[in-house]
Amino acid sequence: MKIKACIFDLDGVIVDTAKFHFLAWKRLADELNISFDEHDNEQLKGVSRTTSLEIILRKGSIQYSEEEKQEMAVKKNIWYLEYCSTIDESEILPGIKEFLDELKLKNILIGLGSASKNALLILDKLKLTSYFDAIVDGNKITEAKPNPQVFLRAAEELNVNPNEAIVFEDAEAGVEAAIRGGFYAIGIGDAKILGKANIVLRSTALINFNLIDAAEGK
């Protein structure tokens, strides 16, 4: 099968804003007197803001109204955006800009599949928005990863079938979503966590066009 598109997660694949998510969630957890550390933060990777909040609140075993939870989510996002305010092109992860350039040169479609509701803002700050033929973020979906909705919607907007697209993901839930959706999955990170992916690379610096050939079975 010929690969016609590459679909990228945002956090941890194009840019590392995970550190800002962690700082914002920890700030909220501290305010609620809920213990929260980097190990706990691993559970939040690749999932929506609402689901992330529910995971944290379960740790605290305290019930809150929907209105209170909405206020918490908004507060967390304000803090996150404050931390992100300094992002620029220097924050693009190694090898990504060069790979996007090569995909454009070889007429491979480029999509974004991210749970983040701030994806457009971040892509604009990175000056990468023009590379993307389809951008599907948390504002366009109702189901969080590992549900494949975000990637299926991106494939639909790109007008390709899932088996004609590669998904690049750094989160276990994201890899699971890609596989459930019928995509070729390339994991970025720890093979012990992302072992279900077709290929796992320890760094974005290792991404190159040979991966397209591998996915096509050449």
pLDDT digits (tens, 9 = 90+) for 39-54: 898 888 777 888 899 9
Per-position DSSP letters for 116-161, written without gaps between them? -TTHHHHHHHHT-GGG-SEEE-TTT-SS-TTSTHHHHHHHHHHT--
40 is catalytic: no
Just give the CATH number of 5-15+88-215.
Answer: 3.40.50.1000
137 is catalytic: no
pTM of the model: 0.84
User: How many Cα neighbours within 13 Å face the side chain of 81?
Assistant: 12
Whole-angstrom distance, CA of residue 154 vs CA of residue 136: 6
What's the pLDDT at 188?
97
Among the ranges given (28-32, 116-120, 165-169), the one the predictor scored with the smallest mean pLDDT: 116-120
Residue 80: CB atoms within 10 A of its CB come to 22
Whole-angstrom distance, CA of residue 120 vs CA of residue 124: 6
Q: Where exactly does CATH 1.10.150.240 map onto the chain?
A: 18-84
- Per-residue pLDDT band for 218 (boundaries 50, 70, 90) equals low
Among the ranges given (37-46, 64-73, 127-136), the one the predictor scored with the smallest mean pLDDT: 37-46
Name the DSSP class of 15. Answer: B
How is domain 18-84 classified at the CATH fold level?
DNA polymerase; domain 1 (1.10.150)
* Cα angle for residues 64, 69, 75 (degrees, 5° grid): 135
Residue 89: CB atoms within 10 A of its CB come to 11
User: How many Cα neighbours within 13 Å face the side chain of 31?
Assistant: 10
Q: Where exactly does CATH 3.40.50.1000 map onto the chain?
A: 5-15+88-215
Listed in sequence order, the DSSP H helices in 49-118 are 49-60, 66-84, 96-105
Percent of the chain with pLDDT over 70: 99
Among candidate residues 11, 40, 137, 170, the one labeled active-site is 11
Whole-angstrom distance, CA of residue 188 vs CA of residue 172: 10
Q: Token pair 């504002």 is at which residue?
A: 139
Q: Token pair 């190159």 is at which residue?
A: 208
Which residue type sits at 61? S
Contact indicator for 87, 17 with CB cutoff of 8 Å: yes
